[in-house]
Chains A and B, each alone.
Chain A
Amino acid sequence: MHKYIIRRVLQFIPMLFLVTVLVFGLAKAAPGDVLSGEMLDPNIPHEVLEQRREALGLNDPIHIQYWNWLSAVAQGDLGTSMQYANRPVMDLIQARVMNTVYLAIFSLVVTLAVAIPIGIYSAQRKYSLFDYGATTFAFLGLATPNFFAGLLAIWLLSFQFGWFPAQGTTSAVGLSGFELFVDKLRHLVLPGFTLGLASTAVYMRYMRTEILEIKGSDFIRTAHAKGLTKNSVLYKHTLRNALIPIITLLGFEFGFLLSGAVITEAVFNYPGIGTLFLNSISNRDYPVIMAINLILAVTILLGNLLADIFYAVVDPRIRYD
């Protein structure tokens, strides 16, 4: 087990390296650079720009530039933003990252809490009215784009019924303690459900299919032949096996939540990493784009690493291979 984890962590390192190369390469491959915007200003002579390029190291060979960037990143220096008056990128991200984390966690908890019980219940009552209902919901959920589901939720649950706030993270200043918590939670409801909609559909379908498949397997027949109760067969023998593919999905879920957050946060005007990312793209704020790209990629890698380790905990066949 320890060997497996160590091996898996070691595999993580070259992947991380590749990711930094890609993030850097993509930013470099995009047209223009930090000074492109200022080129349009006729008051700045061309020579001055060239001097500043030289000073910033933008004329250095590409590997030197990469090395400089990488060593800065390694020390926690993600550069400075251009759209926000040269504020360090790190500050910008720190100010927003927790909002996105709350949104992701809320969405994930809701997804699992809804999808897994419904998936199990659906499988238990295959082809029942409930099962058909859940299946219809799943396909609708999969087919509805995030932004549309978000707008629909705002129109219906916020404007028509007024149940939940439609934007931001808090509605009033000066709240504290439990009240603040509840207020934040209420703000999370609409974006959280919107963000989790597609995943809920996917997990529900996976859960249902897996349980149905495992129910027909030989070892479940053995479990019945041992005289175990229905619940013991379902919750011990079936579920433990059915959760294995769900864990793989969870590994991808981290990346999915963060990238989905870009659109969802924009729709709900939610001040997280996603809105920052979107703004940076429209303003060609490359240092911020690179930083967020890097964070996204590392999160996905970490998610997969965690999934692999957790996978081994659940499925003994993996540990010794």
Chain B
Amino acid sequence: MKGLKTYFYMEGDRVAKAVDGVDFYIDRGETLALVGESGSGKSITSLSVMRLIPEPPGKILEGSIKLDGKELLSLSDGEMRKVRGNDMGMIFQEPMTSLNPVFTIGNQIAETLIKHKKMTKKQAYKKAVELLKIVGFARAEDIVNEYPHQLSGGMRQRAMIAIAMSCDPKLLIADEPTTALDVTIQAQILDLMIDMKEKFDSSILLITHDLGVVAEVADRVMVMYGGQIVEEARADELFTDPQHPYTRGLLGSIPNIDADVERLESIKGQVPPAHRFPQGCRFAPRCEHAMDICRESNPELLETKSKHKVRCYLYEPLSGEGGQSHGTTSREAIRSTKS
């Protein structure tokens, strides 16, 4: 994905820049996590990949989304429908409401297979039973004939995964797949997703605000704030050496079982609404390290360490990176103020 901009046009000529210039790539077999607070634009990013943005009011303004070299943004609606559910599967936050209540689970899985794989009804139902077994249903033969309300939340999410994986997609997009589930079920669903990814040789784009989930499954992490990526790093690196003050804030707000603290750290303030971003760095109003330059212009996302990019003036880009310099304050300066 390159330079994606998805804006929403609201009443009174206001424009919500929900996604404002996002670039990323996902390798085959990789799990990329997109992390951020509510309103940071992460769900809109994922819906943009599927081209499921309600239009109007939303619109993918510019950018490029390529899947295996195929440009998705120039496809017709009909061609895009052949990609959705076939090359890309998606699961959502609310398993309780994401399945149609009036059709059987089997019907809802088979439907995708009939559409994309041109199977007969009989073949599709047989495949549906197989898929349900793969996602861990012991009584798959019964489940195909059951309705969503007969299943628990975790089971419904499994069924959603079965639907998403039914056509052997190259990419599985999971938008907060475990947020609505019990903690124990969360772990099972995450394991299942990783398992599926390996079995079907696909990749995962995981949208979440839960850094615990990220630590568990992600290979690489992108932190999103105000419609832009503010930091990108390998998962282990991000946890050991977070750079952007926002990322540090997020990590600081996770309770630590070993540390004895009176009160959890929190990031003061709220994500600014997407139609009223500040002029400079979008995090500047909440940032305790904000300098004058931060309020004037928005820094670029630059590589400061190998495979580690940050959008912040506190860091020097690696030598050889052209263009903008990120001020003079060293990384150590922010470390000392933080800990």
Q: In the complex, what distance in Å separates the CA atom of A227 from the CA atom of B309?
A: 35
**Known interface pairs A218-B94, A316-B147, A316-B149. Does A225 touch B100 (Cβ–Cβ under 8 Å)?**
no
| Chain A window 211-233, contacts with chain B (Cβ cutoff 8 Å), 1 for yes, 0 for no | 00000011101111111110010
Chain A residues, CB < 8 A from B160? 222
Chain B residues, CB < 8 A from A228? 81, 85, 111-112, 115
The answer to the question of B330 belonging to the interface, with a C-beta cut-off of 8 Å to chain A, is no
Chain A residues, CB < 8 A from B52? 221, 224-225
* A224, A227, A240: the one within 8 Å of B102 (CB): A240
CB pair A226–B84 under 8 Å, yes or no, is yes
The answer to the question of A96 belonging to the interface, with a C-beta cut-off of 8 Å to chain B, is no
Q: Which A209-267 residues sit within 8 Å CB-CB of chain B?
A: 217-219, 221-229, 232, 237, 240-241, 244
| Chain B window 46-88, contacts with chain A (Cβ cutoff 8 Å), 1 for yes, 0 for no | 0000101000000000000000000000000000111111100
**Known interface pairs A226-B111, A228-B111, A241-B102. Does A219 touch B97 (Cβ–Cβ under 8 Å)?**
yes
Chain A residues, CB < 8 A from B271? none
Chain B residues, CB < 8 A from A320? 150
Q: Of residues A223, A240, A244, A320, which shows the largest number of chain B Cβ atoms within 10 Å of its Cβ?
A: A223
The answer to the question of A189 belonging to the interface, with a C-beta cut-off of 8 Å to chain B, is no
Q: Of residues A222, A223, A315, which shows the largest number of chain B Cβ atoms within 10 Å of its Cβ?
A: A222
Q: Give, as a whole number of angstroms, the nearest-CB distance from A207 to chain B.
A: 17
**Known interface pairs A225-B52, A225-B85, A226-B84. Does A315 touch B102 (Cβ–Cβ under 8 Å)?**
yes
**Known interface pairs A222-B92, A320-B150. Does A227 touch B98 (Cβ–Cβ under 8 Å)?**
no
Majority secondary structure, A binding face: helix
The answer to the question of B161 belonging to the interface, with a C-beta cut-off of 8 Å to chain A, is no
* B85, B103, B147: the one within 8 Å of A227 (CB): B85
* A219, A221, A227, A316: the one within 8 Å of B86 (CB): A227
The answer to the question of A2 belonging to the interface, with a C-beta cut-off of 8 Å to chain B, is no
CB pair B101–A223 under 8 Å, yes or no, is no
CB pair B83–A241 under 8 Å, yes or no, is no
Chain A residues, CB < 8 A from B149? 316-317
**Known interface pairs A225-B85, A228-B81. Does A218 touch B102 (Cβ–Cβ under 8 Å)?**
no
The number of residues on chain A lying at the interface, defined by a beta carbon within 8 Å of a beta carbon of chain B, is 22
The answer to the question of A295 belonging to the interface, with a C-beta cut-off of 8 Å to chain B, is no
| Chain B window 31-54, contacts with chain A (Cβ cutoff 8 Å), 1 for yes, 0 for no | 000000000000000000010100
Please name the residue on chain A nearest to B95 by beta carbon.
Answer: A218
| Chain A window 146-172, contacts with chain B (Cβ cutoff 8 Å), 1 for yes, 0 for no | 000000000000000000000000000
CB pair A316–B101 under 8 Å, yes or no, is yes
**Known interface pairs A222-B92, A222-B160, A317-B149. Does A227 touch B101 (Cβ–Cβ under 8 Å)?**
no
CB pair B92–A226 under 8 Å, yes or no, is no
| Chain B window 85-124, contacts with chain A (Cβ cutoff 8 Å), 1 for yes, 0 for no | 1100110101001111111100000011001100000000
The answer to the question of B229 belonging to the interface, with a C-beta cut-off of 8 Å to chain A, is no
Q: Of residues B82, B102, B164, which shows the largest number of chain A Cβ atoms within 10 Å of its Cβ?
A: B102
Chain A residues, CB < 8 A from B150? 320
The answer to the question of A314 belonging to the interface, with a C-beta cut-off of 8 Å to chain B, is yes
Give 9 A-B pairs besides A223-B100, A226-B84, A229-B81 with Cβ atoms closer than 8 angstroms: A219-B101, A221-B92, A221-B98, A222-B90, A225-B89, A227-B81, A244-B102, A316-B102, A316-B104
21 contacts between A and B (CB under 8 A): A217-B97, A218-B94, A219-B97, A219-B101, A222-B90, A222-B100, A222-B160, A225-B90, A226-B84, A227-B80, A227-B83, A227-B84, A227-B112, A227-B115, A227-B116, A229-B81, A237-B103, A241-B102, A316-B101, A316-B102, A316-B149
